[in-house]
Amino acid sequence: MSASTAHNHTTVGPDRPQARAGSARRAADWARRAPLLPALIFTIVVTQVPFLATIVISFMNWNSYYPQDRGFGGVSNYVSVFTNAQLRSAVVNTVVLTVTVVLVSLVLGMLIALLLDRKFAGRGAVRTMMIAPFLVVPIAAALLWKHALFNPNYGLLNGVLNAVWKLFGSDSAPQPDWLSAAPKIAIEVSLIWQWTPFMMLILLAGLQSKPADAEEAARMDGATGFQIFRYLTFPHLRQYLELGGLLGAIYIVQNFDAVFTITAGGLGTANLPYTIYQTVFSAHDYGLASAMGVVVVIATIIVATFALRVVSSMFKQEAGR
């Protein structure tokens, strides 16, 4: 008995300080996290509870014009999102608008970033001016394009056409109604103008993190500027291009301001966010609007997941240097 008792003392005794250390560590961890608990609860209540309510409503037939017909509708609202011709057109418009704006903004942003990466007098001022469109409030930017540029009577574009035609001795310059002639292009141009600086900032940061020794070695070996861009600069910018494209897509897929302000969803320009607005405030079909909102959120989450993976891989590469 005495031997076993001594053995227990030798094995259990050292575990007590470890147990105390473990409980002290857990207490310290809880003390650090406890102040964040109210903020976490507030965030869950403000964001997740409404989203859960939206998911529940999306499975209901709920139209305020027909309150007596309210009830469980299954997946009928989701079927309508992808089978109804008007809603399907809104989905297509959302995809086309997002892809067009992101791709064109990336190309223009990369070209501007390549120019601003060079040293020249006044580079800081030029960078500041190039960022300015992204800082404009979206609704103000849409109003600027609608009235100051696209207006057929006093807009800048038609004013430029008048000035050019007068240079050649003609007073009969064409005065197109830009919003009626090309409504989708008008929305895309206004968004490209606003999002190109965002892409430029991301790509310029990527260019400034590029290792200079590799480019110097390539120049010493006789590589041309195009070869340096193709084999060194562009591969280095690949992840920054992916990041800019994914972040841009997250925001542009939810764009409402430009569509609402420039065309009010007319002329075949309505996207999903605008259609959700119409479904709620005009048709008062809360179930269908909730289903469309859930589709937009799911698409945004998918894109955001890829964006987070790109950011994580970039951090890992930076840490490994």
Give me the residue label for tokens 């894109």: 303
pLDDT at 10: 47
The answer for 138, left when phi > 0, alpha when psi is -120 to 50, beta otherwise, is alpha
Residue 250: partners with Cβ closer than 8 Å, 6 or more residues away: 300, 303, 304, 307
**21 falls within a domain:** no
Q: In a 10 Å sphere around its CB, with 0-12 CB exposed, 13-18 middle and 19+ buried, how is residue 173 labelled?
A: middle
Tell whether the model's pLDDT for residue 44 goes beyond 90: no
Neighbours of 150 (CB within 10 A): 24
H or E element that contains 228: helix 225-228
- 56 assigned to some structural domain: no
In a domain, residue 134? The reply is yes
Is the CB of residue 251 less than 8 Å from the CB of residue 265?
no
Mean per-residue pLDDT of the chain: 86
Q: Using CA atoms, how far apart are residues 8 and 26, in angstroms rounded to an integer?
A: 27
State the maximum Cα–Cα separation within the chain, in Å, rounded to a whole number: 118
Q: Of 209, 200, 156, which is closest to residue 178 (Cα–Cα)?
A: 156
| Residue 215 CB neighbour total at 10 angstroms | 16
Q: Is residue 71 part of a domain?
A: no
For residue 138, which amino acid is it? P
Chain segment 98-120, per-residue pLDDT in tens: 999 999 999 999 999 999 988 88
User: What distances in angstroms separate CA 217 from CA 206, 212, 224, 227, 241, one per listed residue?
Assistant: 19, 9, 12, 13, 25
8 Å CB contact between 233 and 207: yes
Asked whether 288 and 80 are in contact (CB, 8 A), the reply is yes
In whole angstroms, how large is the CA radius of gyration of the chain? 29
2 within some domain: no
3-state SS, residue 285: strand
Print the domain residue range for 227. Answer: 86-319
β partners of residue 71: 61
Query: Do the domain assignments include residue 41?
Result: no
pLDDT at 37: 84
In a domain, 43, yes or no: no
CATH code for position 214: 1.10.3720.10
Contacts of 277 by beta carbon, 8 Å cutoff, 6+ apart: 256, 260
Number of separate domains in the chain: 1
Chain segment 196-255, per-residue pLDDT in tens: 999 999 999 888 888 778 778 888 888 888 888 888 888 888 889 888 988 898 889 889
Cβ-based burial of 283 (10 A; exposed 0-12, middle 13-18, buried ≥19): middle
Distance (Å, whole) CA 73 – CA 164: 60
pLDDT of residue 127: 86
Which band of pLDDT confidence, cut at 50, 70 and 90, is reported for residue 282? confident
Q: Is there a domain that residue 270 lies in?
A: yes
What is the dihedral angle through the alpha carbons of 249, 124, 233, 202, rounded to the nearest 10 degrees?
A: -20
Once rounded to an integer, what is the mean pLDDT over residues 167-176? 84
